[in-house]
Amino acid sequence: MRKVKTDIIDANHLCELYYKEDLEPYKKRGVQLMNLRHLTRQHDNITGMFVQTKLQFQAVLDQIFPEYSKVFGDLYSDVSLKTLQAFPTSEDVLNTDVETLTVKIKEFCNSRSLQWANKQAEKLMTAAAQNPFRKTLYSSLSLSLDMYINMLFERKKHLSTLENEIDALAKHIEESKIIRSIPGIGEKIAATIISEIGEIERFNNPKKLVAFAGLDPSVFESGTFKGTYNRITKRGSSRLRQALYMAVKCAIRDCRKQKTTDEILPRNKRLRAFYDKKLEVVKPFRVAVIACANKLLHWIYAL
């Protein structure tokens, strides 16, 4: 995995294999880890498609009903999408009274009160009155909007199913509980890390695990020349590197939703201290984060 010149080392290994005939069978990953890896990768793929559908939906909505995004706190919630599907244009809203809108919104979201539904109906009427497009000139836009809403519902349904399967499978894997004990690592990131690593017993040294993740520095040399400006190799699993990167960012950032003081209260104090130490020696942000990811992999190997 390492991007280094290994001609001499490879020759020694070949000689040892020839004379000792000590061949070890390759350990296949467990069925549970393989299933978990397939599920997490499928979740990542569908998440990417979900984000792309959101962007396409937003582009069409801006041409039909741009003021609608101010009505609900979450534009992509079920009640928001169902309301927009029932009243896709400002003309449809203005041709309806507030009482009918209130009943509809309450029907789409039974968990909220009637007073909340009435408030949202009034906001919807205000948005429709302020909307610059009273009529949709192209019927194709309305059709596209309805299609994107249905696609969003399908993507959310698929993601929910995958998340339930991942959580159910991760409960039976002991490594998942161990990794989640590290502050900053949640269920989804833990499942991705253990599924991409596989059987950690394959690595007899944490440096080999770092090389497997592609976080080790590359070596550029030719003859007597040795390069001093070296990037990470980026070999191995890119999904593992992405999961470690997200885990580090979650661990070092402030854990409060709203900061009341300038003091930073990270989820993982030890990792934050290591990150601050790297910044003090004039390391760029990404270099410091990669160093933290390297440190995190060493912790995971030790656990």
Q: Give me the domains of the chain, ranges plus CATH numbers.
A: 7-27+199-255+266-302 (no CATH), 33-170 (1.10.287.4070)
Residue 217 DSSP SS3: strand
- pLDDT on residue 132: 86
Compute CA distances 157 → 35, 152, 254, whole Å: 20, 9, 31
Please give the distance of CA 127 from its chain centroid, rounded to a whole number. Answer: 33
CA distance 232 to 87: 52
Phi, psi dihedrals of residue 166, rounded to the nearest 5°: -65, -45
Any idea what the Cα angle at residue 234 is, between residues 233 and 236, rounded to 5°?
110
The answer to whether the CB of 43 falls within 8 A of the CB of 68 is no
Quote the pLDDT of residue 82. Answer: 93
How far is the C-alpha of 129 from the C-alpha of 197, rounded, in Å?
55
Tokens 């997490």 — which residue? 40
Question: DSSP code of 263?
Answer: S
3-class SS at 12?
A: helix
The tally of CA atoms less than 13 A away on the side-chain side of residue 291 is 16
pLDDT value of position 78? 92
Three-class HEC string of 129-181 = HHCCCCCCCCHHHHHHHHHHHHHHHHHHHHHHHHHHHHHHHHCCCHHHHHHCC
Task: Give the three-class secondary structure for 225.
Answer: strand
Asked if 194 contacts 179 with a C-beta cutoff of 8 angstroms, the reply is yes
Q: What is the pLDDT of residue 145?
A: 92
Q: Which of 91, 243, 273, 247 is CA-nearest to residue 181?
A: 247
- Predicted confidence at residue 292, as pLDDT, reads 85
What count of other Cβ atoms lies within 10 Å of the Cβ of residue 91? Answer: 16
Q: What is the pLDDT of residue 160?
A: 94
What distance in Å separates the CA atoms of residue 94 and residue 70, rounded to the nearest whole number?
17
Kindly give, in sequence order, each residue whose CB lies less than 8 Å from that of residue 165, ignoring residues fewer than 6 positions away: 39
Q: How many CB atoms lie within 10 A of CB 183?
A: 16
How would you write the pLDDT of the chain (303 residues) with one tens digit per residue?
555 556 677 777 777 766 666 555 555 557 788 888 899 999 999 999 999 999 999 999 999 999 999 999 899 999 999 999 999 988 888 898 999 999 999 999 888 899 999 999 999 999 999 988 877 777 888 899 999 999 999 999 999 999 999 888 888 888 888 888 888 888 888 888 888 888 887 778 888 888 888 887 776 666 665 656 667 777 878 888 888 888 888 888 877 666 666 677 777 788 888 888 888 876 788 888 888 888 888 888 887
Residue with tokens 């040892």: 16
Q: What is the rounded end-to-end Cα distance, in angstroms, of the chain?
A: 23
